[in-house]
């Protein structure tokens, strides 16, 4: 049986820091909208404090997380151990999108190693932390991070990103506003 706490303990923070992959789940308010689950990797996660975390949002083919957070803020981040003890940690909270033109962006982005194609920083206020067993999660060996996203972003170039965002990331699958106004 799982357990819950109101904040991220030091032990849990240390465990999270060793995970190479996490998942972000969001959903629109409407019952007929699409639930989104996105895998995140590449050293893009940071624990700011016991009740706040952030991660780099890199340019991708969609912007569901951004659209859902802009609409309602609800999110869950899940970490699974693919090696060692079979643990799962979920961070339940309210997220917000910090775009590069936001005053808070510069202070947050310095927490991360540079990644090409940064679209925003997602800041999450953690309301509840859930831990449970991961008995059904397979054991897997980490080989290496993929570099394809970075190569794509570098080839596209920073100046071309705004037009890409306008054409590919302006609305969600459900028509919610995402990147841009």
Which pLDDT belongs to residue 30?
81
Beta strand 118-133 pairing with 45-49:
unpaired
Beta bridge partners of 94: 74, 125
Question: Angle at which helices 148-156 and 161-168 pack, to 10 degrees?
Answer: 110
C-alpha triplet 44, 17, 83: angle, nearest 5°? 110
C-alpha triplet 48, 172, 36: angle, nearest 5°? 60
pLDDT, tens only, 20-71: 999 999 999 987 889 999 999 999 999 999 999 999 999 999 999 999 999 9
Which pLDDT belongs to residue 31?
79
C-beta separation of 137 from 81 below 8 A: yes
Among residues 112, 108, 130, the alpha carbon closest in space to that of 8 is found at 130
Which pLDDT belongs to residue 1?
62
pTM score, whole prediction: 0.96
Alpha-carbon torsion, ordered 129, 34, 165, 155, to 10 deg = 80
Low-confidence ranges of the chain (pLDDT < 50): none
Q: Which residues contact 52 (CB under 8 A, 6 or more apart)?
A: 123, 124, 125, 126
Domains defined along the chain, listed by start = 3-168 (2.30.110.10)
Which pLDDT belongs to residue 129?
98
C-beta separation of 73 from 95 below 8 A: yes
Q: Which helix (H) or strand (E) is 86 found in, with range? A: none
**Cα–Cα separations (whole angstroms), residue 172 to 65, 68, 69, 117, 179:** 9, 8, 11, 19, 9
């Amino acid at each position: 049986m799982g357990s819950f706490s109101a904040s991220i303990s030091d032990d849990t923070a240390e465990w999270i820091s060793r995970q190479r992959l996490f998942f972000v789940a969001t959903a629109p308010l409407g019952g007929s909208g699409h639930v989104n689950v996105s895998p995140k990797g590449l050293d893009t996660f940071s624990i700011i404090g016991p009740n706040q975390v952030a991660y780099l949002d890199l340019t991708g083919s969609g912007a569901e997380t951004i659209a859902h957070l802009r609409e309602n803020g609800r999110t869950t981040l899940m970490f699974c151990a693919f090696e060692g003890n079979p643990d799962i940690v979920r961070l339940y909270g309210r997220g917000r999108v910090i775009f590069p033109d936001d005053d808070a962006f510069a202070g947050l982005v310095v927490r991360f190693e540079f990644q090409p194609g940064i679209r925003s920083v997602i800041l999450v206020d953690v309301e509840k932390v859930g831990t449970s067993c991961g008995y059904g999660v397979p054991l897997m060996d980490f080989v290496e991070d993929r570099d394809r996203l970075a190569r794509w972003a570098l080839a596209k170039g920073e100046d071309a990103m705004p037009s890409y965002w306008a054409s590919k990331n302006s609305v969600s699958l459900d028509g919610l506003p995402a990147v841009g106004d």
